[in-house]
Amino acid sequence: METVTAADAGRQEFVAALREFTKRKCGTREQRLALTDGGRLTHSQPLHQEVADLGWVGCALPEAYGGGGGSATDACHLVEELAYGQAPLYGLAVALVSASVVERFGTESQKQDILTSVCRGELLATAISEPDTGSDAASLRCRAELRGGNYVINGQKTWISCAHLASRILVLCRTGQGEDQHSGITMLDVPADAPGVTVRPIPTLGGDEVNDVYFTDVVVPADRVIGEVGGAWRQMMSCLNTDRLMCGTMFLGRARRTFDDALEYVRQREQFGRPIGSFQAIRHRMADLATELECCRLLVYDLASKLDEDPNRQVPREASMVKLKVTETAKRLAIEGMQLLGGAGYTKEHDMERHLRESVAGTVYAGTSEIQREIIGRSYGL
């Protein structure tokens, strides 16, 4: 007989509470449209604040900063269930990934300031990519010059998730030159409303989620450096485990919802006198998709358990596998779901078209599928 530990029981209760919350707050299409301005917004700050007030946003952050002191597995349950429930909270996962950098490399004063604000419900973003430096992010040219006791930032960042909603942005800047392009990069904590910061949303298929951010003579005190001057690249690389895990977890929740929506449809839709799900072609199709989905779940929570055992453990192969497999599966599920629903899936009256628009981006941001395959292949010495 399998023994249920206190931790397992607590997580089951947590998941149940999350499901009840999303069902109550955004369980109908009408509720979701109201929360997202007709589907334009990907993040509802009022809803995010409710989640923060319940103590859930900081469930995996240390208690000393207002968090719940939980684990990576707890954070995965939070992100997965909110995504499954279609809660418009895209900024939550972004904030958690950004907070993980501060938790690992920030000073005690920075942690008290930044992590406490995240637990209270403020959003935190990270700015890395630039117009000419996407996958080749280390070639960034946004500069920060030290003048007296301040850094002065000039440059542009692009594709910055939730910068239009964040209270502060962790910006990777070129502060010097080293032996290679990875040296001389520093992370600065920049208030989003600082003079000289301009945020311009980029319209996307998914709605308002990413932005161009311009820095014009933005003055930041030197004590806002996160971690080591010139060592931000190493810091970011060490936090990619969290980034790719959170991305994979979010799309696991979305993929589960896509599958369940398709399953409900093929059970109910009748043609030739019986439900279309009873036809072998569709039944086998659903069986394959369910198997792929279970593989994704196992990958996500296996990586989470590894990080629970050792948060500093470097698992680039496993993290890239999670990001690659889950986002590609989510996209495949949405395309298959559209085909299974036929004309109904193409209409705005059904969520399938939204699933498709959201899933397409997953294989691109946070490192494209091609980049993930490169990392996995190189981990085998290829």
pLDDT digits (tens, 9 = 90+) for 306-356: 999 998 888 999 999 999 999 999 999 999 999 999 999 999 889 999 999
Q: What is the pLDDT of residues 6-42, one digit of tens each?
A: 777 888 999 999 999 999 999 999 999 999 988 888 9
Say what the pLDDT of residue 313 is: 85
Q: What is the pLDDT of residues 236-269, one digit of tens each?
A: 887 888 899 999 999 999 999 999 999 999 999 9
What are the tens digits of pLDDT across the range 138-179? 788 999 999 999 999 999 999 999 999 999 999 999 998 766
Banded model confidence at residue 2, pLDDT cuts 50, 70, 90: low
Cβ atoms 275, 266 nearer than 8 A = yes
pLDDT confidence of residue 353: 92
Compute the distance between CA of residue 221 and CA of residue 94 in angstroms, rounded to an integer: 24
Residues 6+ apart with CB under 8 A from 326: 247, 248, 249, 251, 252, 255, 296, 299, 300, 362
Q: What is the structure's pLDDT at 349?
A: 85
- Tell me the CA distances in angstroms from 242 to 10, 123, 225, one per residue in order: 23, 17, 21
- Chain-centre distance for alpha carbon 169: 15
